[in-house]
Amino acid sequence: MKITKYLGFIACLALFTCKAQQTSTLLDSQMDSSKKNILFIAVDDLKPLLSNYGHPEMVTPNFDRLAEMGVSFTNAHVQYAVCGPSRASVMTGTNPDRTKVWDLHTDFRESAPDLISMPEYLISQGYETTAVGKIYHKGSSSPGHDGKSWSQPHRLPKNYDPKYGAAAFEYYQDPDNKKQLASLKAKGEAKGLKGGKLRSYVFKRLKPSTENADVSDEAYQDGLYTQTALKQLADLEATGKPWFLGVGYQKPHLPFVAPKKYWDLYDRDKIELAKFQELAEGTPKLAYHSFGELRAFSDIDSNLNIGDKLPEAKQRELIHGYMACVSYIDAQIGKLLDALETKGILDDTIIVLWGDHGWHLGDHTEWCKHSNFEQATRIPFMFSGPGVSKNKKLDNPVNLVDLFPTVFELANVPQSNQTDGKSLVPLLDNNPATTLSMDYAYHQYARGKRMGYSIRTDHYRYTEWHDNDYRSYKAYDGNNIVGRELYDYKNDPLETINWVNDAKYKTVVTELKAKLKSHLTKKQNQ
């Protein structure tokens, strides 16, 4: 009798435990179902040269499509206009002076080991994470493209369209280019050169800045990235967990290589060149650079210096190439959106798209990024998904570092207290009563031991250049300032004059200087 009662007790206990486990699993499932998927689209060197950003000459229907699905910020700025620092900043939600990444070589895991990445945090919240392409700067990320960020391995596919074979040096598909590059490579190898030395040997002799080849999307890297992303999407969906998928497109980074069909969308003779191709009046020379990134290409005069103009024909070719690359990426984004629609998961997916910085296309005689000017810091910044208004543009000055907390709030993920940014959700919804007190964005860029710090309001940009390796975690010293800039975007949108010493802007300069100083000393005063 006692044995029978004992066995009955055991059976009831087992049933209770099973029911409790089922209830716990159900609650966990319900909690997970409230968390949204995150499609995170990073586009290298992308400025807001898009039809939805007021450029009707651009053929970018899928950027338009995404804009209609959500909110586009028209006055968004990166924290540092070069890949390594910008990407370390957005991926950790912290400013460059906190990541201590100011170049293309530093890994934030070494310079700021207390920081965690956005996808790493999401893993701790029950997410499955993976990515393809350029999410971090490749030369400054830890093994596995920052392996801690991914629960499924990050991918850099090289399965080029077999009709064309592998791209030469991962860039070129034009048969003539490939033939010449193969010959140079063979000569370099005969000299015993390998790796980076071999690459340098070849590129010093032939490195075209553009290529217009009649090939498929999958003949170049970004077409492969889309292919891989679609496979990763299926794998993520199969886990049953909320997921984070990072898709990092390379173009429109140099060289400007894209399939011919995208070049054919534009008439080179009708392309508008930069209107202001001069150095701004009164601007310190340290604000400029001599676009060494572009001059590294074999068809660009390597002797050009600050203030020198490229020949008009080369300007048109480069701008044409940039536009073709943007349309190439637009087509890839369309494939991603199509996949989400086909799978019926758009309503459960937050989409964020961003450029890691802008790009000079001849303004101020500048090319590339590497400055504190508008064309280098301003980016497209777009959100869509549940909780986001439809077809809305906002001109609030915002920072790319704000992405981190914004995505977490939209995805119903508990906030990390790590971020230096702020959630933009009060601006994204349809409730006019919710807003944010944000009257400036901020960014920085270094020239040797001098760091230029800027704030950008809806009307002005004010910049201070501090000497002696100053950083914002050091004591602010006005005597350390070696240059200042003020631009008035309502009256002088092309930055033709530095107004900082003009008497009529004295009050403006005083106000903006106080804001910048407050920003630079904020952490010290907390």
Which long-range contacts link 451-454 to residues 24+ away (Cβ below 8 Å)? 452/286, 452/287, 452/372, 452/483, 453/516, 453/519, 453/520, 454/372, 454/377, 454/485, 454/516
For the question of residue 12 being annotated catalytic, the response is: no
C-alpha count within 13 angstroms, C-beta hemisphere, residue 361? 23
For the question of residue 55 being annotated catalytic, the response is: no
CA distance 135 to 62: 21
With 0-12 / 13-18 / 19 or more C-beta atoms within 10 angstroms meaning exposed / middle / buried, residue 492 is: middle
The token pair that represents 28 in the structure block: 């966990």
The token pair that represents 416 in the structure block: 């990390």
Question: Is-contact 401 377, C-beta < 8 A?
Answer: no
The token pair that represents 493 in the structure block: 């949108």
Rounded (5°) CA angle 92-93-97:
85
Q: Which residue has the tokens 């699905």?
A: 69
CA distance 422 to 398: 9
CA-CA distances (angstroms) from residue 143 to 138, 140, 148, 326? 10, 10, 9, 29
Catalytic residue among 137, 320, 357, 364: 137
Pairing of strands 243-249, 349-355: unpaired
> What torsion, rounded to 10 degrees, do the Cα atoms 448, 449, 455, 461 define?
-60
Catalytic residue among 77, 83, 364, 466: 83
State the first-to-last Cα distance of the chain, in angstroms, to the nearest integer.
71
- Residues with a known catalytic role: 83, 137
